[in-house]
Structure 1
Amino acid sequence: MTLPAPGVVESVNIGVLRVVPWTQSVGSTGIDKRPVPGRVRAEGVGLVGDVIADTKNHGGYHQAVYAYAREDAAWWAAELDREVPFGAFGENLSTSGVDCTGAVIGERWEVGSTVLEVSRPRIPCRTFAGFWDVPDLVKRFTRRAVPGAYLRIIEEGDLGAGDAVRIVHRPDHGVTIGEVFRALTGERSLAPRLLDAPELPPELQERARKLVTAASANSPQPS
């Protein structure tokens, strides 16, 4: 299998705690990620110094690092006629030359001295809409279906702006971030595909099984 040419990290962004009225949690959020200089340590379940306020829905092993492509950010900048700075999507890594939506579940990225593994898409929430002050953003983000990729930390290390993003492994099943996102947000016919990706987090595998079971129960029975 021929792997794509390396991309690059344009910015590494770390969250700051904000107390605001539009969060899903108890009034605080770490969605406001801002560029930081130098090297950042990736260890355990995130980047050192990053803020995760809503730990029920964000962070943890399967959502340790979030990447979003600047090419996709440029589309939103044109769509909304506004500047979309680094970190605007709540992403830790702002990348270029990396197809985050086309990334395969379980593919591994070598970034700096770290190895990261693609785990799942980001699902938009009202906190995101509030942060951008775009009331219908969840609907628009879902329709656009370019969600960015969450990653696990497989090998701890450090990373920084300017580092190459090298895809060093890609599973043969081919199930992409985009397919998982569309399956979970309405395109139920894709649900069986998700069961082909053992690297998908267990809770999403269970959701996929339920979708497949429901589809089978609702399908017309032969007479």
Structure 2
Amino acid sequence: MPAYLDSLLTGQARPFTRPGSLSAIDKQPRRGELKVTFLGIAGDQQGDLRVHGGAEKAIHHYPREHYAAWAAELGPHPLLEQPGAFGENFSSSGWTEADVCLGDRIRVGTALLEVSQGRMPCWKLNDRFEVAQMALRVQQSGRTGWYYRVLEEGVVEAGDAFERVARPHGQWSVARLSAVLFDKHLEPELLRECLALPLVPNWRRTLEKRLEQRQVEDWTSRLQGRDGS
């Protein structure tokens, strides 16, 4: 099924909800062509470079189809009235996490991208939506979106089509891989299968530690903030 870039969004890092926090999650649609560099879209920022941005998370893609599901669950919400609610750079129609696989190479505009990982949602979604456990709900729903690394720089603009040009790991959709990462049940053989994939370093460390320690890590800090609040 074809997919199209409905909206191209960027944001600036600003003080966020908690003391000392910064975020660029409030991304707004941009018109015209924008440069895509190895670190993301020109003019886009991230508030905490320890966990956001960088070459492995250069661009975040979130399907517009999910908005209807969220509206059905949450009820009317101002953030769901336009793209950008989840801090995405690409808002599209046509593909979801089930349609995109790890390592897929995607041509959009003149840029060549590669699917690097799914999103690991964090507490900033709770605060942005003013919905308790929103990050956990995103995680459990599988409606996380995914990230790209940039293989070839270029330009993109809203309306461009996404063209998949290579699929080296067709058995490993973002949906399937994220389901393993977010599963509280340990399946050692499945973890070993995942570790044979070209995972980004933080996902590899997480799964290696899980396999070594035979237990799933605590997600409280990521989902609720360092103080658990």
Instruction: Identify the TM-score tier after normalising by the shorter chain.
Output: 0.7 to 0.9
Tell me the percent identity.
Answer: 33
CA RMSD across the alignment: 1.8
- Residue 22 of structure 1 is matched in structure 2 by 18
How many positions carry a matched residue from both structures?
209
The AA in structure 1 aligned to 2:21 is G
Q: Using the alignment, how far apart are the partners of 2:98 and 2:9 within structure 1?
A: 20
The AA in structure 2 aligned to 1:191 is L
SS at match of 2:168: coil
SS at match of 2:206: helix
TM-score (norm 1): 0.87
- Residue 9 of structure 2 is matched in structure 1 by 13
SS at match of 2:183: coil
TM-score (norm 2): 0.85
Runs (4+) off by over 4 Å: none
* 1:196 and 2:199 matched: no
Query: Match for 1:171 among 168, 171, 192?
Result: 168
Q: Using the alignment, how far apart are the partners of 1:159 and 1:118 within structure 2?
A: 17
TM superposition shift of 1:193: 3.2
Q: Using the alignment, how far apart are the partners of 1:27 and 1:214 within structure 2?
A: 32
Query: Match for 2:54 among 46, 50, 60?
Result: 60
TM superposition shift of 1:215: 3.4
- Residue 148 of structure 2 is matched in structure 1 by 151
Q: Using the alignment, how far apart are the partners of 2:213 and 2:16 within structure 1?
A: 38
Q: Using the alignment, how far apart are the partners of 1:82 and 1:117 within structure 2?
A: 34
SS at match of 1:186: coil
- Residue 211 of structure 1 is matched in structure 2 by 210
Residue range with higher mean Cα deviation, 174-183 or 119-128: 174-183
What are the equivalent positions in structure 2 for 1:103-182 lying under 5 Å apart? Answer: 103-172=100-169, 174-182=171-179
- Residue 220 of structure 2 is matched in structure 1 by none
- Residue 41 of structure 1 is matched in structure 2 by 35
Query: Match for 2:25 among 31, 46, 58?
Result: 31
TM superposition shift of 1:20: 2.3
SS at match of 2:25: coil
Structure 1 pair 33/101, CA: closer, same or farther in 2 (3 Å)? farther
- Residue 219 of structure 1 is matched in structure 2 by none
SS at match of 2:214: helix
TM superposition shift of 1:78: 1.9
Structure 1 pair 73/196, CA: closer, same or farther in 2 (3 Å)? farther
SS at match of 1:151: strand
Structure 1 unaligned regions, length at least 5: 217-223
Structure 2 unaligned regions, length at least 5: 216-229
The AA in structure 1 aligned to 2:195 is L
Q: Using the alignment, how far apart are the partners of 2:122 and 2:169 within structure 1?
A: 31
